Amino acid sequence: MAKLQPVRGTRDILPEDMRRHRTVIDACRRLAERYGYHEMATPVFEFTDVFKRTLGETSDIVTKEMYTFPVSEEGDSVTLRPEATAGVARAFITNGLQQDLPAKLFYTGPMFRHERPQKGRLRQFHQVDVELLGVAQPVGDVEMIALARHFLQEIGLDSDRITLEINTLGDLESRKVYRQALVDYFQQYEDQLSDDSRARLHRNPLRILDSKDAGDRKLVADAPQFDDYLNRESKDFFRQVLDGLRTLGISYEINPRLVRGMDYYTHTCFEFTTDQLGAQGTVLAGGRYDGLIGQMGGASTPGIGWAAGVERLSMLLDQEPQPPRPIAVVPAGEAQEAMALELTQKLRHQGFAVELGYSGNLRKRLKRADRVNARAAVILGEEEAAKGSATVRDLDSGTQETVSLNALGERLAQLS
């Protein structure tokens, strides 16, 4: 029989890795709450149209990377979510959240894409995601970027390791004019474009600017600049975003080639990048999507959000997160085991992390206490048990003392 393995592009998250995951997720959750965002969750799969409407039928995600399954003979299908925003937008409409704006939402969970596995990228991966719906003003963009930067700082990614790249896509009017300018330019070189870019030329020409094909990149270098097609309202909006970032002391680099291909994206788009993960440098990306909710059938609602990959960020943590050091409860023999079990549960209810010495003689049980990196051992011997006390051994210093069981919690708290 063949040895069972995880499916290619997936991995088991063992305790050491899970602590790194939790460090990232808990930092984001904690800060999101501080900024007034509320956690929510959506199903792990949606009807396929949720993603086709939002990501576009010609996008790589829809055409190449989604896990889609038929659910009826009439052609209905469901898709494992490849990203979070579409499901959040669907939930916003379904649950009538437009009645109480702004909606400030935090989200975390697994996503699924059938792409080539590489460093920090898996076919089942995890994201943290923050969305702000109902705020049309530039201050919403500034707050969203400030939260992202604060989050990255919280997990130890300082400015010398992370760069904020930012651009504007303008409003819908500016975008329409720029789109036509791109079509006019790339049509001259249509025979030199990659197959993917030729397919995008008339459907989604902004996606060509994001092409990784070497031949496309040469053509993109001389393509029209978005800045030349921005109207005054779009320039004013972007100026206010940049002014807000400077007010908060957040440094940035303007990247005129940073784009989002879908038509519902407007104004600000941004990414935090690093050179510490190889060629694929983005660790957090976001943008304003004022047209998304309307495109999905809801009332026109402005929105901006960002997402970050937990696996990629966890690889950048400098320090290995450590589990809390427990208290070891060690019965000296079988006669004290029932008392040890009762005491263990009592200490846990008092808020201590406690490991019970399950079996073996006293020496073996103390050896296990060392192996789990216990802070102290509470030893229950026959004589101590008869007096309603225990021996507390400080496993760092090696000193020990007899402590009344009634005062045990207070003494252990001093060692924590």
For residue 162, the domain's CATH number is 3.30.930.10
Is residue 337 annotated as involved in ligand binding? Answer: no
CATH number (domain holding residue 390): 3.40.50.800
Residues 357 and 258 reside in one and the same domain: no
Mean pLDDT of 194-216: 85
Domain boundary among 285, 314, 343: 314
Q: What integer best gives the mean pLDDT of the chain?
A: 90
Is residue 68 annotated as involved in ligand binding? Answer: no
Distance CA 78, CA 287 (A): 26
299 pLDDT exceeds 90? yes
Residues 353 and 294 reside in one and the same domain: no
Instruction: Judge contact between 27 and 155, C-beta under 8 A.
Output: yes
- 76 versus 28: which is more confidently predicted? 28
Distance CA 75, CA 65 (A): 19
Residues 405 and 267 reside in one and the same domain: no
Range of the domain at 371: 327-415
Q: What is the pLDDT of residue 352?
A: 94
What are 137-168's pLDDT values in tens digits? 999 999 999 999 999 999 999 888 899 999 99
Stretch among 164-178, 196-210, 287-301, 310-324 having the lowest mean pLDDT: 196-210
Is residue 178 annotated as involved in ligand binding? Answer: no
Q: What is the pLDDT of residue 273?
A: 93
Residues 331 and 308 reside in one and the same domain: no
Confidence class for position 287, pLDDT limits 50, 70, 90:
very high
Residue 4 lies inside a defined structural domain of this protein: no
Residues 310 and 334 reside in one and the same domain: no
62 pLDDT exceeds 90? no
* Per-residue three-class SS string for the chain: CCCCCCCCCCCCCCHHHHHHHHHHHHHHHHHHHHCCCEECCCCCEEEHHHHHHHHCCCCHHHHHHCCEEECCCCCCEEEECCCCHHHHHHHHHHCCHHHCCCEEEEEEEEEECCCCCECCECCEEEEEEEEEECCCCHHHHHHHHHHHHHHHHHCCCCCCCCEEEEEECCCHHHHHHHHHHHHHHHHCCHHHCCHHHHHHCCCCHHHHHHCCCHHHHHHHCCCCCHHHHCCHHHHHHHHHHHHHHHHCCCCCEECCCCCCCCCCCEEEEEEEECCCCCCCCEEEEEEECCCHHHHCCCCCCCEEEEEEEHHHHHCCCCCCCCCCCCEEEEECCHHHHHHHHHHHHHHHHCCCCEEECCCCCHHHHHHHHHHCCCCEEEEECHHHHHCCEEEEEECCCCCEEEEEHHHHHHHHHHHC
> Strands 266-273, 303-309: parallel, antiparallel or unpaired by DSSP?
unpaired
Confidence class for position 55, pLDDT limits 50, 70, 90:
confident
Residue 281 lies inside a defined structural domain of this protein: yes
Residues 254 and 358 reside in one and the same domain: no
Instruction: Judge contact between 299 and 309, C-beta under 8 A.
Output: no
Residue 321 lies inside a defined structural domain of this protein: no
357 pLDDT exceeds 70? yes
Stretch among 20-24, 213-217, 227-231, 361-365 having the lowest mean pLDDT: 361-365
Q: What is the pLDDT of residue 279?
A: 59
Residues 160 and 274 reside in one and the same domain: yes
Domain boundary among 314, 349, 364: 314
Stretch among 86-90, 226-230, 307-311 having the lowest mean pLDDT: 226-230
Mean pLDDT of 90-116: 93
Residues 265 and 125 reside in one and the same domain: yes
Q: What is the pLDDT of residue 280?
A: 55
Is residue 252 annotated as involved in ligand binding? Answer: no
Is residue 268 annotated as involved in ligand binding? Answer: no
Is residue 402 annotated as involved in ligand binding? Answer: no
Residue 179 lies inside a defined structural domain of this protein: no
Q: What is the pLDDT of residue 56?
A: 65
Residue 210 lies inside a defined structural domain of this protein: no
Residues 251 and 379 reside in one and the same domain: no
Is residue 260 annotated as involved in ligand binding? Answer: yes
Residue 261 lies inside a defined structural domain of this protein: yes
Mean pLDDT of 385-403: 90
Q: What is the pTM of this model?
A: 0.87
Q: What is the pLDDT of residue 241?
A: 98
**Domain count of the fold of the chain:** 2
Residues 363 and 255 reside in one and the same domain: no
Residues 360 and 310 reside in one and the same domain: no
